[in-house]
Amino acid sequence: MDAFIHSKGVSYVYLLPLHRRLYGERAGCLHIVVPDEAATVPVHSQASLVARRIWSNPPMHGAKIAAEIFSNDDLLRLWKSEVEEMAERMNKMRRLLVSNLEKHCTFREW
């Protein structure tokens, strides 16, 4: 059927949304078929405008995760300790980098 329509030079859009409890998750697929190459430019332009609006609004799962963590005292404490642990590790790695740079690149001031 699709090949028949396409062979007649008819443009069509085929949208395959994936709902299955994924509201706000940006799951799905869109196919746009145009009759010739010249039609791709304006169609691509308009599709890009629509897509930009969708991509500019992030999916909801991050906000839901943050709300769950910030509304639960145990999870919030765990999150804070993990952030502190990551910050300590980053500082340790920075100090190690400076130490190695000073050791191996003595012609510079680190």
Q: Which amino acid is at 73?
A: D
pLDDT for residue 106 is more than 60? yes
Phi, psi dihedral angles at 13 (to 5 degrees): -120, 135
Mean pLDDT of 75-81: 97
Q: Where do the structural domains in the chain lie, given as residue ranges?
A: 2-55, 75-104
Q: Tell me the range of 3-17, 35-49, 83-97 where mean pLDDT is highest.
A: 83-97
Lowest-confidence segment of 11-15, 70-74, 101-105 by average pLDDT: 11-15
Q: What is the CA radius of gyration of the chain?
A: 26
Confidence band, pLDDT 50/70/90 cuts, at residue 60 = confident
CA distance 110 to 108: 6
- Residue ranges of the alpha helices (H) in the chain? 2-7, 40-55, 61-70, 73-104
Residue 28's DSSP bridge partners are 17
Structure tokens at 110: 């680190």
